[in-house]
Amino acid sequence: MVVDARRRVLQCASAGCGYRTDRLPTPEAVRDAAVTHLGQHAQRERLAAHLRSCNCRTAGCAWHVGSRSCTGQIVLVLFRSPGGRSWHLADACETCAGAIPHAARVPMRGPVTVATPEPVRRRPRGGEARSVAEQQAAARAALAYTAASLPPGVSGEARLLAVVCALRVRPTGLAPLPLGITRTLRLRAPAGALAELQEARWLHYLGRPCGGPAAFVPELAGTPGRKRAGQWALQLLADRRTIVLPAPTRLAALAVSAAEDRHGEAFLLDPEGTARSCGLDEKAFEDALADVSTAGVLADWYPLPSGLLLCSLARAGPRRGGG
């Protein structure tokens, strides 16, 4: 949440939100509007326990002084930048939450680590039909989870495969990886990507005689089935426009496309946070955006004085339908 104290105007930096106020009468009104709007995000965007991670660690513990070991439960914290220009609502471990200046824990009613499931339409042949908005949210969560859980130095192909596994994992912790998936993704070295993730102990590859090959992701065991949540992401990653791009650039295309709120409308993007979710620094992410634009996924993008990017996607893209 970006605050223009001089004009007393708020602008939300959350991907796809677009919330912006007119001039507010008093500084207190600015504070109340910021807290109210961030609270609405907290209620609408609860994540399942397995997708919650310390966002401070993902940012390199840049929100507080000194390097600390992330410990304790994940809590929701509200904090402002030292100058008061921006307000943030984020998950953090208890250690980081206690070290972030100007931070307060946000009490949540009920089990904050589990999202309340909404009724979904059932398909005749199994699986859950999910709206594109739900699949976009799942893609954003998978990108955030892999950014926090993968070690530094993991290749782009290994990161892309990890995102796909996170989207396809079943309650058993198994993410089916039939040969058709790796062929569809056209990974240059799928065996090498799997080996990287196994060496990092992020997953265990199982060449099962029955049921086909799968990856076992220990940290995601016990989570709701999400196979259908990955269909939209797979379609984008294997799109004819993106399939020729390097894996990190394809992840950037996925991250940008998942940030669109209303189909066909411009949306705001946080370049720093989105770059981290793709395993890129900001300069590499800027180069990736240029390639995504050249490929015809991103129609236009330009920086705003707030540091955010105003983006619009090209009209041609993955089918806007569930599953």
Report the range of poorest mean pLDDT among 193-207, 214-228, 255-269: 214-228
In this predicted model, which residue has the larger pLDDT, 174 or 314?
Answer: 314
Q: What dotted CATH number matches 132-232? A: 1.10.10
Report the range of poorest mean pLDDT among 128-142, 211-225, 237-251: 211-225
Report the range of poorest mean pLDDT among 23-27, 140-144, 191-195, 199-203: 23-27
Report the range of poorest mean pLDDT among 32-41, 119-128, 249-258: 119-128
pLDDT given for residue 285 in this prediction: 94
Judge whether residue 284 has pLDDT over 60: yes
Task: Give the helix ranges, DSSP H, for 8-154.
Answer: 27-44, 55-58, 94-99, 132-149
Judge whether residue 168 has pLDDT over 80: yes
pLDDT tier at 226, thresholds 50, 70, 90: low
pLDDT given for residue 148 in this prediction: 85
Structural domain boundaries in the chain: 2-105, 132-232, 245-313
| Average pLDDT rounded to a whole number, residues 212-240 | 73
Judge whether residue 93 has pLDDT over 50: yes
Q: What long-range pairs does 239-242 form, CB within 8 A, spacing at least 24?
A: 239/297, 239/317, 239/318, 241/295, 241/296, 241/297, 241/316, 242/292, 242/295, 242/297
| Average pLDDT rounded to a whole number, residues 289-314 | 90
Apex 38 CA angle, 84 and 36, nearest 5? 95
| Average pLDDT rounded to a whole number, residues 35-55 | 70
Judge whether residue 213 has pLDDT over 80: no
pLDDT given for residue 129 in this prediction: 44
pLDDT given for residue 115 in this prediction: 27
Percent of residues, the chain, with pLDDT higher than 70: 74
By the 8 A CB rule, do 203 and 197 touch?
yes
| Average pLDDT rounded to a whole number, residues 295-313 | 89
In this predicted model, which residue has the larger pLDDT, 89 or 293?
Answer: 293
Which residues on adjacent β-strands are paired with residue 176? 214
Q: Which helix (H) or strand (E) holds 248?
A: helix 247-259
pLDDT given for residue 223 in this prediction: 57
Judge whether residue 254 has pLDDT over 70: yes
- Name the residue among 141, 175, 174, 148 with its Cα closest to residue 161: 175
pLDDT given for residue 112 in this prediction: 39
Q: Which CATH number fits domain 245-313: 3.40.50.300, 1.10.10.10, 3.10.20.70, 3.30.390.30?
A: 1.10.10.10
| Average pLDDT rounded to a whole number, residues 58-75 | 74
